[in-house]
């Protein structure tokens, strides 16, 4: 079974530009979540998508957005790039079953290798 | 959010057991303890998770104290490839979502030859 695929692996942009990152989850997985990793802040949750709907969102400005397609592939977009957006962006795939407010579904996430974004 | 506390770094000799501690004194009754690790330049990798009972899989064992305020991840025979940052996470449930993991700084485990 193929793992989580993120493209591109490396990206260099300049301030003010926008960027789109892509993530293909494991076949059959319906949930995709995105994380940003920087040396200073560590791993931080950006947002999560399930069946083309954003299910949860972290504390990031509106310049960070995402979407999910009917085949579960996901993209995230960062507009008006700032130097501080330089980071490793990680995508995680999960089967997507959840029980709502009650209980827990014990699901584990499968992460891709990430896209290393450098903003100059 | 239940927070976790881990030592910033640990060393272990190759072939010996590595015991990584984690404190999560504010954990709620229905929150699970998850362990992930991240090898340099790769995405985090799931290791194991548990609620109350001790758990074991092909990678590791997880020992959770009876009061659930702390846990220990055990790698029974550490190898050089186990050198990584290990994250202990208490899963936050937010509006039914199970995927908002709150990562701390983790423990850098260095396995020495």
**A1-10 tens-digit pLDDT:** 679 999 999 9
10 Å Cβ neighbour count for B63? 16
Q: How many CB pairs under 8 A join A and B?
A: 80
Contact between chains at A104 and B98 (C-beta distance less than 8 A): yes
The answer for B 27-46 residues in CB contact with A (under 8 A) is 30-32, 34, 36, 41-46
Read off the pLDDT of residues B50-107 as tens digits, 9 standing for 90 and up: 888 899 999 999 999 999 999 999 999 999 999 999 999 987 655 455 567 888 899 9
Percent of chain A residues past pLDDT 70, beyond the cut: 90
Read off the pLDDT of residues B4-35 as tens digits, 9 standing for 90 and up: 999 999 999 999 999 999 999 988 887 889 99
Q: What are phi and psi of A83, to 5 degrees?
A: -55, -35
A104 pLDDT more than 50 = no
Tell me the average pLDDT across A110-119. Answer: 96
Contact between chains at A101 and B96 (C-beta distance less than 8 A): yes
In terms of average pLDDT, the best of A92-101, A106-115, B33-42 is B33-42
Look at residue A11 and give its three-state secondary structure.
strand
Contact indicator for A77, A63 with CB cutoff of 8 Å: no
Q: Round to whole Å and give the CA distance between B93 and B91.
A: 6
Contact between chains at A99 and B96 (C-beta distance less than 8 A): yes
């Amino acid at each position: 079974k193929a793992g989580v695929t993120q493209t591109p692996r490396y990206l260099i942009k300049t301030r003010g530009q926008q960027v789109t990152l892509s993530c293909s989850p494991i076949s059959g997985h319906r949930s995709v979540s995105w994380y940003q990793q920087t040396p200073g802040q560590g791993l931080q949750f950006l947002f999560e998508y399930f069946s083309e709907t954003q299910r949860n969102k972290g504390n990031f400005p509106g310049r960070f957005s995402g979407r999910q397609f009917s085949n579960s592939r996901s993209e995230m977009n960062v507009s008006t790039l700032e130097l501080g957006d330089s980071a490793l962006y990680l995508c995680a795939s999960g089967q997507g079953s959840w029980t709502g407010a009650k209980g827990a579904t014990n699901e584990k996430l499968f992460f891709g290798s990430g896209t290393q974004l450098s903003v100059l | 959010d239940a927070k976790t506390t881990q030592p910033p770094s640990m060393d272990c000799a190759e072939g010996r057991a590595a015991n990584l501690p984690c404190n999560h004194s504010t954990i709620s009754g229905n929150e699970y303890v998850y362990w992930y690790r991240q090898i340099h330049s790769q995405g985090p990798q799931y290791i194991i998770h548990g609620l109350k009972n001790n758990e074991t899989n092909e990678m590791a064992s997880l020992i959770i104290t009876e009061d659930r305020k702390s846990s220990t991840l055990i790698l029974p025979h550490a190898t050089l490839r186990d050198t990584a940052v290990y994250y202990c996470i208490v899963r936050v449930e937010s509006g039914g979502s199970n995927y908002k993991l709150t990562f701390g700084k983790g423990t850098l485990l260095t396995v020495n030859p």
